[in-house]
Structure 1
Amino acid sequence: MQLGNVAEFYMTFFALLRIGVAPVNALFSHQRSELNAYAAQIKPALLIADREHALFADDSFLHAFIAEHPSLRVALLRNDGGERDLATEINRPADNFIANPTPADEVAFFQLSGGSTGTPKLIPRTHNDYDYSIRRSNEICGINAETRYLNALPAAHNYAMSSRVRSAFSSPAGG
Protein backbone atom coordinates (compact mmCIF):
# COMPACT_ATOMS: atom_id res chain seq x y z
CA MET A 1 0.00 0.00 0.00
CA GLN A 2 1.47 3.34 -1.05
CA LEU A 3 -0.74 6.30 -0.32
CA GLY A 4 0.15 9.75 0.95
CA ASN A 5 -1.42 11.64 3.84
CA VAL A 6 -4.98 11.26 2.58
CA ALA A 7 -8.16 9.93 4.16
CA GLU A 8 -8.00 6.87 1.91
CA PHE A 9 -4.77 5.82 3.63
CA TYR A 10 -6.58 5.33 6.93
CA MET A 11 -9.78 3.89 5.45
CA THR A 12 -7.78 1.37 3.44
CA PHE A 13 -5.30 0.50 6.20
CA PHE A 14 -7.98 -0.24 8.79
CA ALA A 15 -10.16 -2.07 6.25
CA LEU A 16 -7.23 -4.34 5.35
CA LEU A 17 -6.63 -5.12 9.02
CA ARG A 18 -10.33 -5.86 9.44
CA ILE A 19 -10.32 -8.46 6.67
CA GLY A 20 -7.06 -10.06 7.82
CA VAL A 21 -4.69 -8.65 5.18
CA ALA A 22 -1.24 -7.67 6.51
CA PRO A 23 -0.20 -4.62 4.46
CA VAL A 24 3.22 -3.13 3.87
CA ASN A 25 2.92 0.63 4.30
CA ALA A 26 5.37 1.98 1.73
CA LEU A 27 6.21 5.64 2.12
CA PHE A 28 4.88 7.89 -0.65
CA SER A 29 8.47 8.90 -1.42
CA HIS A 30 9.49 5.32 -2.21
CA GLN A 31 10.30 4.55 -5.81
CA ARG A 32 10.72 1.59 -8.15
CA SER A 33 13.58 -0.13 -6.28
CA GLU A 34 11.84 -0.07 -2.89
CA LEU A 35 8.48 -1.25 -4.22
CA ASN A 36 10.12 -4.07 -6.19
CA ALA A 37 12.14 -5.12 -3.12
CA TYR A 38 9.02 -5.27 -0.92
CA ALA A 39 7.07 -7.21 -3.54
CA ALA A 40 9.92 -9.70 -3.99
CA GLN A 41 9.86 -10.38 -0.24
CA ILE A 42 6.14 -10.75 0.46
CA LYS A 43 4.66 -11.77 -2.92
CA PRO A 44 1.61 -9.48 -2.66
CA ALA A 45 -1.78 -10.30 -4.14
CA LEU A 46 -2.94 -6.66 -3.89
CA LEU A 47 -1.33 -3.31 -4.75
CA ILE A 48 -2.89 -0.04 -3.61
CA ALA A 49 -1.25 3.15 -4.89
CA ASP A 50 -2.05 6.64 -6.15
CA ARG A 51 -2.09 8.09 -9.68
CA GLU A 52 -0.59 11.25 -8.12
CA HIS A 53 2.67 9.33 -7.55
CA ALA A 54 4.99 9.71 -10.56
CA LEU A 55 5.37 5.92 -10.91
CA PHE A 56 1.63 5.46 -11.34
CA ALA A 57 0.84 8.58 -13.40
CA ASP A 58 0.48 6.24 -16.38
CA ASP A 59 0.42 2.45 -16.69
CA SER A 60 4.02 1.80 -17.79
CA PHE A 61 5.44 1.05 -14.33
CA LEU A 62 2.24 -0.69 -13.25
CA HIS A 63 2.34 -3.10 -16.21
CA ALA A 64 6.04 -3.85 -15.61
CA PHE A 65 5.40 -4.35 -11.88
CA ILE A 66 2.55 -6.77 -12.53
CA ALA A 67 4.67 -8.70 -15.04
CA GLU A 68 7.59 -8.92 -12.60
CA HIS A 69 5.42 -9.98 -9.65
CA PRO A 70 2.97 -12.66 -10.83
CA SER A 71 1.45 -13.03 -7.35
CA LEU A 72 -0.21 -9.64 -7.88
CA ARG A 73 -3.85 -10.21 -8.78
CA VAL A 74 -5.47 -6.82 -8.05
CA ALA A 75 -4.21 -3.25 -8.39
CA LEU A 76 -6.30 -0.36 -7.07
CA LEU A 77 -5.31 3.24 -7.67
CA ARG A 78 -6.48 6.40 -5.97
CA ASN A 79 -7.47 9.02 -8.58
CA ASP A 80 -7.76 6.41 -11.32
CA GLY A 81 -11.34 6.98 -12.42
CA GLY A 82 -11.29 3.72 -14.36
CA GLU A 83 -11.47 0.00 -13.71
CA ARG A 84 -8.76 0.18 -11.02
CA ASP A 85 -10.34 3.06 -9.08
CA LEU A 86 -9.80 2.79 -5.31
CA ALA A 87 -12.75 5.08 -4.52
CA THR A 88 -15.11 2.75 -6.39
CA GLU A 89 -13.99 -0.16 -4.20
CA ILE A 90 -14.13 1.90 -1.00
CA ASN A 91 -17.72 2.91 -1.81
CA ARG A 92 -18.89 -0.52 -2.98
CA PRO A 93 -21.37 -2.07 -0.52
CA ALA A 94 -19.92 -5.12 1.21
CA ASP A 95 -22.50 -7.83 0.60
CA ASN A 96 -22.37 -10.61 3.17
CA PHE A 97 -19.21 -9.18 4.74
CA ILE A 98 -17.65 -11.20 7.54
CA ALA A 99 -14.71 -9.61 9.34
CA ASN A 100 -11.73 -11.95 9.54
CA PRO A 101 -8.97 -10.11 11.40
CA THR A 102 -5.85 -12.03 12.28
CA PRO A 103 -5.39 -13.14 15.91
CA ALA A 104 -3.70 -10.62 18.21
CA ASP A 105 -0.43 -12.56 18.35
CA GLU A 106 -0.09 -12.81 14.55
CA VAL A 107 1.27 -10.29 12.06
CA ALA A 108 -1.02 -7.29 11.60
CA PHE A 109 1.16 -5.42 9.10
CA PHE A 110 4.75 -4.86 8.05
CA GLN A 111 6.55 -1.77 9.27
CA LEU A 112 9.63 -0.48 7.47
CA SER A 113 13.07 -0.11 9.02
CA GLY A 114 14.80 3.24 8.72
CA GLY A 115 16.59 2.14 5.56
CA SER A 116 19.97 3.33 6.84
CA THR A 117 21.70 0.34 5.21
CA GLY A 118 19.89 0.55 1.87
CA THR A 119 16.37 -0.55 1.01
CA PRO A 120 14.24 -0.54 4.17
CA LYS A 121 13.63 -3.98 5.63
CA LEU A 122 10.17 -5.30 6.41
CA ILE A 123 9.51 -5.72 10.12
CA PRO A 124 6.47 -7.84 10.99
CA ARG A 125 4.35 -6.27 13.74
CA THR A 126 1.63 -8.11 15.61
CA HIS A 127 -1.58 -6.54 16.85
CA ASN A 128 -0.24 -7.08 20.38
CA ASP A 129 2.96 -5.13 19.55
CA TYR A 130 1.00 -2.12 18.42
CA ASP A 131 -1.66 -2.36 21.10
CA TYR A 132 1.09 -2.06 23.72
CA SER A 133 2.75 0.83 21.87
CA ILE A 134 -0.55 2.67 21.53
CA ARG A 135 -1.56 2.20 25.17
CA ARG A 136 1.84 3.40 26.42
CA SER A 137 1.83 6.35 24.01
CA ASN A 138 -1.63 7.37 25.21
CA GLU A 139 -0.42 7.24 28.82
CA ILE A 140 2.87 9.06 28.22
CA CYS A 141 1.38 11.77 26.00
CA GLY A 142 -1.84 12.21 27.95
CA ILE A 143 -4.08 11.38 25.00
CA ASN A 144 -7.73 11.37 26.00
CA ALA A 145 -11.20 12.09 24.63
CA GLU A 146 -10.32 15.79 24.24
CA THR A 147 -7.15 15.21 22.21
CA ARG A 148 -6.90 16.43 18.62
CA TYR A 149 -3.96 15.41 16.43
CA LEU A 150 -2.62 16.90 13.20
CA ASN A 151 -0.23 14.53 11.44
CA ALA A 152 2.50 16.34 9.48
CA LEU A 153 4.68 13.22 9.15
CA PRO A 154 4.18 10.68 6.35
CA ALA A 155 1.11 8.66 7.38
CA ALA A 156 2.95 5.37 6.82
CA HIS A 157 5.97 6.37 8.93
CA ASN A 158 6.67 4.21 11.99
CA TYR A 159 6.37 7.07 14.49
CA ALA A 160 3.10 8.30 13.05
CA MET A 161 1.64 4.79 12.89
CA SER A 162 2.78 3.41 16.21
CA SER A 163 2.81 6.40 18.47
CA ARG A 164 0.42 8.99 17.18
CA VAL A 165 -2.06 8.10 14.46
CA ARG A 166 -3.23 4.78 15.81
CA SER A 167 -3.27 6.33 19.30
CA ALA A 168 -5.66 9.00 18.10
CA PHE A 169 -7.90 6.39 16.46
CA SER A 170 -7.87 4.28 19.61
CA SER A 171 -8.36 7.09 22.13
CA PRO A 172 -11.40 6.94 24.41
CA ALA A 173 -13.23 9.20 21.93
CA GLY A 174 -12.53 6.73 19.13
CA GLY A 175 -10.53 9.15 17.04
Structure 2
Amino acid sequence: MKKRQVATLIYLICWSGSTFKTEAANSSLKPAAPYTYLLKNFTQNNVKVEIRAKIVTESEIFLSATFTPYPGYHLYSTRMPAKGIDGAGRPTKFDVSVEKPARLKMYGSVTDQPRPFNVIDKSLSRPLPIYPAGPVTLTRKGKYSPGASNVIVHLTYMSCRTDGGCTIPVENKELRFTLKI
Protein backbone atom coordinates (compact mmCIF):
# COMPACT_ATOMS: atom_id res chain seq x y z
CA MET A 1 0.00 0.00 0.00
CA LYS A 2 1.41 3.43 -0.94
CA LYS A 3 2.10 6.13 1.65
CA ARG A 4 -0.62 8.39 0.20
CA GLN A 5 -3.18 5.56 0.36
CA VAL A 6 -2.23 4.79 3.95
CA ALA A 7 -2.51 8.46 4.88
CA THR A 8 -6.00 8.73 3.42
CA LEU A 9 -7.15 5.78 5.54
CA ILE A 10 -6.21 7.32 8.88
CA TYR A 11 -9.03 8.69 10.92
CA LEU A 12 -9.71 9.29 14.55
CA ILE A 13 -12.74 8.41 16.62
CA CYS A 14 -12.68 9.91 20.08
CA TRP A 15 -14.15 7.82 22.87
CA SER A 16 -12.78 9.76 25.81
CA GLY A 17 -15.32 10.60 28.48
CA SER A 18 -13.21 13.52 29.73
CA THR A 19 -14.20 17.14 29.32
CA PHE A 20 -11.47 19.63 28.57
CA LYS A 21 -11.29 23.39 28.35
CA THR A 22 -10.63 22.98 24.63
CA GLU A 23 -10.73 19.73 22.69
CA ALA A 24 -10.40 18.98 18.99
CA ALA A 25 -10.10 15.85 16.89
CA ASN A 26 -10.00 15.10 13.19
CA SER A 27 -12.60 12.51 12.20
CA SER A 28 -11.27 12.21 8.66
CA LEU A 29 -7.64 12.92 7.90
CA LYS A 30 -6.56 14.03 4.45
CA PRO A 31 -3.05 13.37 3.10
CA ALA A 32 -0.67 16.29 3.31
CA ALA A 33 3.12 16.38 3.34
CA PRO A 34 4.84 15.41 5.57
CA TYR A 35 1.91 13.18 6.62
CA THR A 36 1.56 14.62 10.12
CA TYR A 37 -1.90 14.79 11.69
CA LEU A 38 -3.32 16.48 14.79
CA LEU A 39 -5.20 13.82 16.77
CA LYS A 40 -6.21 15.66 19.95
CA ASN A 41 -5.55 18.95 21.68
CA PHE A 42 -6.61 20.62 24.91
CA THR A 43 -5.48 23.33 27.31
CA GLN A 44 -5.27 22.69 31.04
CA ASN A 45 -3.37 24.43 33.87
CA ASN A 46 -1.63 26.98 31.63
CA VAL A 47 -0.36 24.38 29.14
CA LYS A 48 -1.65 23.65 25.63
CA VAL A 49 -1.16 19.97 24.68
CA GLU A 50 -1.28 18.60 21.12
CA ILE A 51 -1.12 14.89 20.27
CA ARG A 52 0.03 14.16 16.71
CA ALA A 53 0.68 11.17 14.46
CA LYS A 54 3.32 11.25 11.76
CA ILE A 55 3.45 8.48 9.17
CA VAL A 56 7.13 7.93 8.39
CA THR A 57 7.05 4.85 6.13
CA GLU A 58 4.48 2.27 5.03
CA SER A 59 4.82 0.60 8.45
CA GLU A 60 6.38 3.18 10.79
CA ILE A 61 4.61 5.93 12.72
CA PHE A 62 5.64 8.49 15.36
CA LEU A 63 3.19 9.61 18.05
CA SER A 64 4.12 12.86 19.77
CA ALA A 65 2.82 15.17 22.46
CA THR A 66 3.78 18.84 22.33
CA PHE A 67 3.33 20.73 25.61
CA THR A 68 3.30 24.52 25.21
CA PRO A 69 3.21 26.40 28.52
CA TYR A 70 1.93 29.96 28.72
CA PRO A 71 4.60 32.67 28.35
CA GLY A 72 6.82 32.92 31.42
CA TYR A 73 6.22 29.27 32.41
CA HIS A 74 8.45 26.21 32.05
CA LEU A 75 7.97 22.44 32.40
CA TYR A 76 10.01 19.82 34.26
CA SER A 77 12.13 17.14 32.59
CA THR A 78 11.02 13.58 31.89
CA ARG A 79 14.05 12.57 33.98
CA MET A 80 12.57 13.94 37.22
CA PRO A 81 11.24 11.45 39.84
CA ALA A 82 7.45 10.85 39.75
CA LYS A 83 6.82 12.93 42.90
CA GLY A 84 9.43 15.58 42.11
CA ILE A 85 12.55 16.43 44.06
CA ASP A 86 11.76 16.84 47.74
CA GLY A 87 8.14 17.26 46.57
CA ALA A 88 8.96 20.09 44.12
CA GLY A 89 7.88 19.72 40.48
CA ARG A 90 6.49 16.80 38.47
CA PRO A 91 7.99 15.11 35.41
CA THR A 92 6.59 15.77 31.95
CA LYS A 93 5.42 12.35 30.76
CA PHE A 94 3.86 10.88 27.62
CA ASP A 95 2.97 7.21 28.10
CA VAL A 96 1.35 5.35 25.20
CA SER A 97 -0.29 1.93 25.36
CA VAL A 98 -2.43 0.03 22.88
CA GLU A 99 -5.30 -2.34 23.74
CA LYS A 100 -5.27 -5.82 22.21
CA PRO A 101 -5.86 -6.82 19.49
CA ALA A 102 -3.57 -4.11 18.20
CA ARG A 103 -2.39 -3.07 14.76
CA LEU A 104 0.01 -0.61 16.39
CA LYS A 105 3.04 -1.52 18.49
CA MET A 106 5.07 1.15 20.27
CA TYR A 107 8.79 0.58 20.83
CA GLY A 108 11.80 2.40 22.24
CA SER A 109 11.82 5.07 24.88
CA VAL A 110 10.41 8.58 24.73
CA THR A 111 12.64 11.19 23.10
CA ASP A 112 12.41 14.84 24.09
CA GLN A 113 13.08 18.19 22.43
CA PRO A 114 14.55 20.52 23.58
CA ARG A 115 17.04 19.07 26.04
CA PRO A 116 16.51 19.90 29.73
CA PHE A 117 19.01 21.67 31.98
CA ASN A 118 19.51 21.75 35.77
CA VAL A 119 18.52 24.61 38.07
CA ILE A 120 20.03 24.83 41.54
CA ASP A 121 17.65 25.56 44.42
CA LYS A 122 19.49 25.58 47.74
CA SER A 123 16.34 24.48 49.59
CA LEU A 124 16.33 21.15 47.67
CA SER A 125 18.57 18.09 48.03
CA ARG A 126 19.57 18.12 44.33
CA PRO A 127 19.16 20.19 41.15
CA LEU A 128 15.79 20.49 39.37
CA PRO A 129 15.88 19.31 35.74
CA ILE A 130 13.72 21.70 33.69
CA TYR A 131 13.09 22.48 30.03
CA PRO A 132 13.68 25.97 28.67
CA ALA A 133 10.54 28.13 28.51
CA GLY A 134 8.55 27.29 25.39
CA PRO A 135 7.21 24.16 23.69
CA VAL A 136 8.43 20.68 24.68
CA THR A 137 7.83 17.71 22.37
CA LEU A 138 7.93 14.09 23.55
CA THR A 139 7.89 11.41 20.84
CA ARG A 140 7.38 7.62 20.69
CA LYS A 141 8.11 5.38 17.69
CA GLY A 142 5.75 2.67 16.55
CA LYS A 143 5.12 0.07 13.84
CA TYR A 144 1.66 -0.42 12.36
CA SER A 145 -0.23 -2.71 10.04
CA PRO A 146 -3.56 -1.80 8.41
CA GLY A 147 -6.52 -1.81 10.77
CA ALA A 148 -7.79 -0.15 13.94
CA SER A 149 -5.99 0.21 17.27
CA ASN A 150 -7.42 1.54 20.52
CA VAL A 151 -4.77 3.88 21.88
CA ILE A 152 -4.51 5.03 25.50
CA VAL A 153 -2.30 8.01 26.33
CA HIS A 154 -1.40 9.10 29.88
CA LEU A 155 0.02 12.60 30.35
CA THR A 156 1.70 14.16 33.38
CA TYR A 157 3.10 17.70 33.59
CA MET A 158 3.41 20.73 35.84
CA SER A 159 4.07 24.30 34.75
CA CYS A 160 5.87 26.85 36.89
CA ARG A 161 6.77 30.49 36.45
CA THR A 162 10.46 31.18 36.20
CA ASP A 163 10.06 33.80 38.96
CA GLY A 164 8.12 31.41 41.26
CA GLY A 165 4.61 30.02 41.54
CA CYS A 166 3.35 26.80 39.96
CA THR A 167 0.06 25.41 38.67
CA ILE A 168 -1.53 22.29 40.13
CA PRO A 169 0.12 19.27 38.45
CA VAL A 170 -1.79 17.29 35.85
CA GLU A 171 -1.06 13.66 36.71
CA ASN A 172 -1.89 10.61 34.59
CA LYS A 173 -4.49 12.43 32.49
CA GLU A 174 -5.98 9.72 30.28
CA LEU A 175 -6.91 10.23 26.63
CA ARG A 176 -8.38 7.40 24.56
CA PHE A 177 -8.90 7.21 20.84
CA THR A 178 -9.10 4.72 18.00
CA LEU A 179 -6.46 5.09 15.33
CA LYS A 180 -7.41 3.39 12.07
CA ILE A 181 -4.76 3.02 9.41
For normalisation by structure 2, the TM-score amounts to 0.23
Q: Which has the higher helix share?
A: 1
For normalisation by structure 1, the TM-score amounts to 0.23
Q: Which has the higher strand share?
A: 2
